[in-house]
Chain A
Amino acid sequence: MCGIVGLFLKKDDLRPQLGDMLTDMLITMTDRGPDSAGIAIYGPETEGMVKITVQSDSPEEAFGNLDVAVSAAIDGPVTIKVVDTHAVLTVPEASEAAAIAWLEEVGLRIMGAGSSMEIYKEVGLPKDVTARFGLRDMGGSHGIGHTRMATESAVTTMGAHPFSTADDQCLVHNGSLSNHNQMRRTLARKGVFTRSENDTEVGAAYISSRIADGATLGEALEGTIKDLDGFFTFVTGTKDGFGVVRDPIACKPAVMAETEDYVAFASEYRAFADLPGIEAARVWEPEPATVYFWER
């Protein structure tokens, strides 16, 4: 089944509560996906710097002097924020590729990178995963989350959503893609490589690849309707935006709510129950094969 949620704030005053609201939404979606949970959250930026989120199964060992080591490797300033099994390294924009290459070389798993986006995901119940990362205390402008019931690949950290295949871009998915191996090969021929065996990562890579070719996010999302086969409801995040698309059959559930303060997405209405002002919100079901997108 899987559960997906998303929240895009239109006003700044709710920013400190973003993590808290998303946590409740995710926990409510536990019975749609108890295998793993994850979140991408768009928070504060530092001019000229990029955040790289990495994961390790032995964080004490791996993250000990990581900032010093990365700093030496890229010959530039690096700061580190360790959050349970994840660490967010802030590096100069110009050194991003070198830092990622070095981090992968030493065996760290790259969750995502971007000036604003941080990704946290682990195997386990959503309530445990969100508590480990202290998600409730995180603020930001928008975020997307996922509770996974695994179908297309193993229950591992790398198989958890969200998937990020380009800076500040991420994707969560409810459904299953039937042409993901074919699409993975097509993308690989273009030099686009994925890090897992998961079908959703291919969906994310498809969108990133289209954007890299010059498509707008809207056009890339339109492209999923034509080029990806299977069942899907996708929710995507970009640095300034938040998008939703469902396949033409639209078997996978989706509901949206909009107020003056926010736009929210969830697999089920239940996830909205604690949102402020939800009683007066416009609530609707997104149409199949239709792209919805908000930008600030």
Chain B
Amino acid sequence: MTTTLDLTATDLRAVNTTLQAAARAQANEDYEIINPRGAHAMACGLDGPLAVTIKGSTGYYCAGMNKEATVTVEGSAGPGVAENMMSGTVTIEGDASQYAGATGHGGLLNIKGNASSRCGISMKGIDIVVHGNIGHMSAFMAQKGNLVVLGDAGDALGDSLYEARLFVRGSVKSLGADCIEKEMRPEHLKILAKLLDEAGADAKPEEFKRYGSARKLYNFNIDHADEY
């Protein structure tokens, strides 16, 4: 059974309190939020299994700090969607604004449309699949996890990258400092196949290029000053 919460009738804080309590109770229930009207911080801090469907577009910081819950936005998401996510799945049917999935530690962020600038900035283990394009400075200082892009990437992809893996099918406008194209080995094709399958993405792993860190900037070295 699905419980419907109407944001024109219920206060945002009350909606989040209800969702957070249900998540903590390990309820694994289904919730549907109607009339989101671009509100901020919707379905944030869910710490347990729960399925939430938001029928419309959201504002800043939707599904932040998510753990175990499944959140679907049937619209577009504003800046900072799924920031610092720990686990679970967040799906955006439309576009995502700036810094989607920033600092995420785990789980899957599945963006069916485009993501704008700074997608996956400082990602720390999260998997992000973007079916469309991503903007500039994406995966800046990304440390761990996978960023999969079916479309094109903007300027300075993977600037100052650590060990996150970046897979891009389309063009890359430019690579950031210390980001290089790398060989696609069998283990990468396997990881990518699994992620594409999980995200329901219509693409073959062989179509992608892999980008990663040249590892020159890990420690300061005066000979590499020009790389910054």
Contacts and interface: CB of A to CB of B under 8 A. Distances in A.
B95 A253 contact: no
Interface in B46-97: 56-60, 76, 78-79, 94-95, 97
B98 interface: yes
A80 to B, nearest CB: 40
Given A250-B117, A269-B76, A288 B39 contact: no
Given A268-B78, A269-B59, A270-B37, A255 B135 contact: no
Nearest to B137: A249
Given A287-B135, A288-B117, A288-B136, A270 B97 contact: no
B94 A255 contact: no
Contact of A270 (B39, B79, B117): B39
Interface string A248-265: 101101010000000000
Contacts of A288: 117, 135-136
B111 to A, nearest CB: 13
Contacts of A285: 95, 97, 116
B38 interface: yes
A273 interface: yes
Contacts of B40: 270
A76 to B, nearest CB: 49
Contact of B57 (A250, A251, A269, A287): A269
A115 to B, nearest CB: 36
A284 B95 CA distance: 7
Contacts of B76: 255, 269, 283
Chain A contact patch, size range: 10 to 19
Interface in A264-296: 268-273, 279, 283-285, 287-288
B6 to A, nearest CB: 14
A251 B116 CA distance: 11
Given A250-B117, A253-B78, A284-B95, A269 B135 contact: no
B78 A283 contact: no
Contacts of B97: 253, 255, 285
Contacts of A272: 38
A283 B38 contact: no
A54 to B, nearest CB: 37
Contacts of A251: 98
Contacts of B57: 269, 283
Nearest to A278: B57
B37 A283 contact: no
Nearest to A285: B116
Contacts of B94: 283
A248 B114 CA distance: 18
A253 B37 contact: no
B36 to A, nearest CB: 9
A233 to B, nearest CB: 12
Contacts of A255: 76, 78, 97
Contacts of A268: 38, 59-60, 78
A271 B57 CA distance: 12
A254 to B, nearest CB: 9
Contact of B38 (A250, A270, A279, A287): A270
A248 B174 CA distance: 14
A270 B95 contact: no
Contacts of B116: 250, 285
Nearest to A248: B136
B37 A273 contact: yes
A284 B38 CA distance: 14
Contact of A269 (B78, B114, B136): B78
Contacts of A279: 56
Given A283-B57, A288-B117, A288-B136, A253 B38 contact: no
Nearest to A283: B76
Contact of B59 (A248, A270, A284): A270
20 contacts: A248-B136, A250-B116, A250-B117, A250-B135, A251-B98, A253-B98, A255-B76, A255-B78, A268-B38, A268-B59, A269-B38, A269-B57, A269-B58, A269-B76, A270-B39, A270-B40, A271-B38, A279-B56, A283-B76, A283-B95
Q: Considering the complex of A and B, which 3 residue pairs feature the smallest CB-CB distances, nearest first?
A: A269-B38, A270-B38, A273-B37
Given A250-B135, A251-B98, 4 more contacts: A248-B136, A250-B117, A250-B136, A283-B76
